[in-house]
Amino acid sequence: METSITYLKEQFQLNDPDIRSYSPLTLAYIGDGIYELYIRTILIKQGNCQVNKLHKQASRLVKAQAQSEMVQVLEPHFTEEEEAVYKRGRNAKSYTTAKNATTGDYRRATGFEAVMGYLYLTEQYCRMIDLIKMGLEALEDGK
């Protein structure tokens, strides 16, 4: 069974890059997008809902503060490689800031997104989903 990523790589003749050479902000860039796509997918698959409500639910889960809270629970469960990626992302010099987040939340969120990007680009989808699930459960418990 061919995955959509395998098909994408074939159709566009994409090589498997050395992810370790990628900037943590590049990893965070793709991680931000894929994390939001997974959140939207989870929300949509829970049942039909008004788009405005979906947007509010998704926004609450993808904002820097939520990602920061999630990563504080997830970090002890990271592998050595994930921890290294997280720290590179968290410590990266970003030229943008979050509109509605503290600097600490924004930096931790960038680290979280870098891990999501790393897992996505290395095709570790099950691991990414497991971490997202663990993080979402922690957010729910913290309500």
Label each residue of 55-88 as H, E or C. HHHHHHHHCHHHHHHHHHHHHHHCCHHHHHHHHH
Q: How many CA atoms lie within 13 A of 56 on its CB side?
A: 5
Q: What is the pLDDT along the chain (143 residues), one digit of tens a residue?
A: 567 888 998 999 998 888 888 999 999 999 999 999 999 999 999 988 899 999 999 999 999 999 999 999 999 999 999 999 999 999 998 777 777 888 899 999 999 999 999 999 999 999 999 999 999 999 888 75
Among 18, 32, 130, 141, the active-site one is 32
Classify domain 16-141 by CATH number.
1.10.1520.10
C-alpha–C-alpha distance, residues 135 and 77, integer Å: 11
Beta strands in the chain (DSSP E): none
The owner of tokens 């820097």 is 64
pLDDT at position 3 is 79
The pLDDT of residue 1: 56
Residue 48: what pLDDT?
A: 86
Is residue 32 annotated as part of the catalytic site, yes or no? yes
pLDDT of residue 17: 80
Predicted local distance difference test score (pLDDT) of residue 106: 93
**Euclidean distance between CA atoms 135 and 117, whole angstroms:** 16
pLDDT of res. 143: 54
Q: pTM of the entire structure?
A: 0.92
